[in-house]
Amino acid sequence: MSKINNIGILTSGGDSPGMNAAIRSVVRTCCYYGLSVFGIRRGYQGMIEGDIFKMQTTDVSNIIQRGGTILKTARSKEFMTDEGMKKAYGQVSAHGIDALVLIGGDGTFRGANHFFEKYTIPAVGIPGTIDKDLVGTDYTIGFDTAVNTAVEAIDKIRDTAEAHDRLFIVEVMGRDAGYIALNSGIACGAEDILIPEQATHIDEVLNRIDRDERRKKTVHIIVVAEGDEFGGAKEFYTAITERFPALDVRTCVLGHIQRGGSPSYADRVLASRLGYAAVNALRHGNTQVMAGVINDKIIFTPFAKVIKGEAPINRDMLEMIRVLSA
């Protein structure tokens, strides 16, 4: 592979706290090693439209603590077409960019894999998604912050649930993955945690509520991932109130509050490590891979394996819920 001189960086898909820390790490690592770095705004769509600018180390001052992404993000249907990819490559070439760092999730790396099947420009991915649903890394940038946001909210909800003897259904993000629900629910002592990876039997949920009612347990917290097969907070509310019309039931959908806010120390450190590792991977000829951390060590996983794999849920944790909520 020829020597790399100019690296482009973009953020794509859903934003996650810590993306700015990763951008900062990539830019400053490039500058340290004498490489030029170009910011690409609005992900692949910005690449197609040529929304590209040269970055300096001062461009990333005072952003490590900020949520969101200074490069903006977007989802681009046009990029998934041959014509869109051709335009994107033309813009990259016109700016002299000879390698890319891509910060995002599964969709970002799927796009990258298709793109680099047609064009041979080197690339390294950084996992930036609150869902923690990628193989090749123990944690993704933004997951720790999102879980802590959910935990803080659920703790406050439990206070008011206890004050009024209420059952609360709290819906957290997780369209295809239940990691936020599982971890925040355990941390908050939820009585039920419902996730896409495990079949939901509504009768079992209702029977557990009935058991708690008969035991005079006055507070019941259910944490449900938005992608649960039975549905979200609204569907559970209907099922519960039909079975227990006298029960005081409330719902709370945390929504996009989980995406925002200042990243936790863990996400800032993870993002800094992965940004540094991504640039050095390109410098040493390692390409078409995602940088991740497994057992606290930097690991590189090919894009093809990342997008085909599924990060498994820890079944021991699912069993533990039943024990601790009894």
Boundaries of every domain in the chain: 6-142+263-308, 143-259
Same fold, 6-142+263-308 and 143-259: yes
Residue 249: pLDDT above 90?
Answer: yes
How much is the pLDDT for 238?
Answer: 95
- Mean pLDDT value across the chain: 93
| Mean local confidence (pLDDT), 165-188 | 94
Q: Which CATH class is domain 6-142+263-308?
A: alpha beta
Assigned CATH topology for domain 143-259: Rossmann fold (3.40.50)
- In the predicted model, what is the mean pLDDT of residues 11-23? 96
Catalytic residue among 131, 144, 228, 267: 131
Global pTM reads: 0.93
Question: How far apart are alpha carbons 194 and 198 in whole angstroms?
Answer: 8
**Unique residue bearing structure tokens 């810590």:** 18
pLDDT band at 85 (very low <50, low <70, confident <90, very high): very high
Q: How many CA atoms lie within 13 A of 169 on its CB side?
A: 24
Evaluate if residue 310 carries a pLDDT over 80: no
Tell me whether residue 131 is one of the annotated catalytic residues: yes
Whole-number pLDDT of residue 1: 58
Instruction: Tell me the average pLDDT across 34-44.
Output: 97
Beta-strand (E) ranges in the chain? 6-11, 36-40, 52-55, 99-104, 123-127, 167-172, 192-194, 220-225, 249-253, 289-294, 297-302
Assign 219 a pLDDT band (cuts: 50, 70, 90). Answer: confident
pLDDT of residue 175: 87
Mean pLDDT for 223-252 is 93
pLDDT average, residue stretch 91-100: 96
Rounded mean pLDDT, 169-183: 94
Least confident of 35-44, 61-70, 273-282, 315-324: 315-324
Give the C-alpha separation, 40 to 67, whole Å.
Answer: 18
Which of 78-87, 133-142, 194-203, 298-307 is least confident? 194-203
Whether 93 shows a pLDDT value over 90: the answer reads: yes
Give the separation between CA 270 and CA 76, rounded to whole angstroms.
27
11 pLDDT above the threshold of 80 = yes
Assign 326 a pLDDT band (cuts: 50, 70, 90): low
